[in-house]
Amino acid sequence: MIMMMMKERRSRLLQHAAKAGCNAVAAFEPENVFYLTGFWGEAIAVCTDNGTKLVAPKLEYSRAQQSSIDCEVVPTERGSELLATFVSQIKNKQACTDCSDYSTVEHVRRLQGNVVVDTEPFFLTRRIKDEAEMEVIAKASRILDRLYKVCADEIKAGMTERDLQAKLVYEGLKMGANPPSYKSTLNPLIIAGGPNGALPHAEVTGRKFRSKDMIVVDLTLRHQGYIADATRTFALGKPTAEMVRVYEIVQESQKAGLDAAVAGATCGQVDAACRDLIRERGYEKQFIHSTGHGIGLDVHEPPWVRATNEEVLQKNMAVTVEPGIYLEGKFGVRIEDSILVTGGKPKVLNRFTKDLVVL
């Protein structure tokens, strides 16, 4: 079945590339190489109507042979030799590529490689998940649910944000997940207690959890290449009336967003469902980010669930719905699920309770 799905992915990608005037596809980014071949590593994937080839350095050749699916592995050296071998595979072809590095593209063109830089065909194809992708994303989401149970069991006054991150990464690795890496942060997870929770992308610190903290735990982990993303907010000790009120508003907002996330709705409509409710309750200025984003091989990928996006949700898209309210210097609340868009109500992949858990 996976070989059939791989062939369908390649066929759809070539169809999108043809609209850009190309009859070949060249993937440089590891996510797209994996999408086309099943191999994650240093390599270039070349897809044409005649089949798929994986141009890989010799040090990766054996691993590429073992993990790639229905493609020929072409061994070469690293650096300029890798590019020269790649160019030999697109001779007399016009290749659409995801490579946006100027020096690499210019080197390829000096070698007489005909390439068009256009990432859109890759994301157009990857937007709609096939059965294999949906199954893996669902498994990744179940790992997150188990890690939230770890949070409920482990969070105590005196524990630091960094201590909890170490515990969750360790347990996640044991469950078969890997923390993703981002250029924009030094930490794989977001764990933010008390006033740190008012920073949507807070860096993990050595701050100790205290009684009366709201603790935002945003878990993003990769399983078999694919991302699941969820957030839960815990209360340590009896929360104040304000904390409970804000939590309930975010919870209601998130439910409204989930109800709106159906095939045929626009991303802007989903954002509005969440944002309008928060605006009505007087916290519009404290909801300072978009409602969600696509997930898959990237942590953040199209479609973008934000106010200005008129893109229509389609069946088998995977997105997040994650409204939040952030009170500077006090606390923050965010609730997030990974979902699959269906013909009716979305399939919510995260099952850990969204009622306020008081620890």
CATH number reported for the structural domain that contains residue 158 in this entry: 3.90.230.10
pLDDT at 189: 96
Residue range 217-226, pLDDT digits in tens: 999 999 999 9
Domain boundary among 76, 99, 126: 126
Domain check: are 275 and 136 in the same one?
yes
Domain check: are 63 and 195 in the same one?
no
Domain check: are 112 and 191 in the same one?
no
Q: Based on the number of CB atoms within 10 Å of its own CB, is 206 exposed (0-12), middle (13-18) or buried (19 or more)?
A: exposed
Domain extent at residue 246: 128-358
Our count of domains for the chain comes to 2
Distance CA 74, CA 91 (A): 15
Q: What is the mean pLDDT of residues 313-338?
A: 98
Domain check: are 68 and 159 in the same one?
no
Asked whether the predicted pLDDT for residue 183 surpasses 90, the reply is no
Does residue 239 have a cis peptide bond before it, meaning omega lies within 30 degrees of 0?
no
Residue % of the chain over a pLDDT of 70:
100
Q: What is the mean pLDDT of residues 285-293?
A: 98
Residue range 233-245, pLDDT digits in tens: 999 999 999 999 9
Residue range 198-213, pLDDT digits in tens: 999 999 999 999 999 9
Residue range 117-169, pLDDT digits in tens: 999 999 999 999 999 999 999 999 999 999 999 999 999 999 999 999 999 99
Domain boundary among 61, 92, 126: 126
Domain boundary among 80, 108, 126: 126
Q: Are strands 318-321 and 337-340 parallel, antiparallel or unpaired?
A: antiparallel
pLDDT at 182: 80
pLDDT at 181: 79
Domain check: are 298 and 164 in the same one?
yes
Domain check: are 140 and 32 in the same one?
no
Task: Tokens 């059939």: give the residue.
Answer: 4
Distance CA 185, CA 203 (A): 7
Domain check: are 164 and 246 in the same one?
yes
CA distances from 43 to 49, 145, 171 (A): 20, 34, 31
End-to-end CA distance of the chain: 45
pLDDT at 2: 86
Domain check: are 119 and 135 in the same one?
no
Residue range 18-56, pLDDT digits in tens: 998 999 999 999 999 999 999 999 999 999 999 999 999
Asked whether the predicted pLDDT for residue 185 surpasses 90, the reply is no
For residue 13, give the CATH number of its domain.
Answer: 3.40.350.10
Q: Based on the number of CB atoms within 10 Å of its own CB, is 300 exposed (0-12), middle (13-18) or buried (19 or more)?
A: middle
Domain check: are 262 and 148 in the same one?
yes
pLDDT at 30: 96
Distance CA 227, CA 220 (A): 7
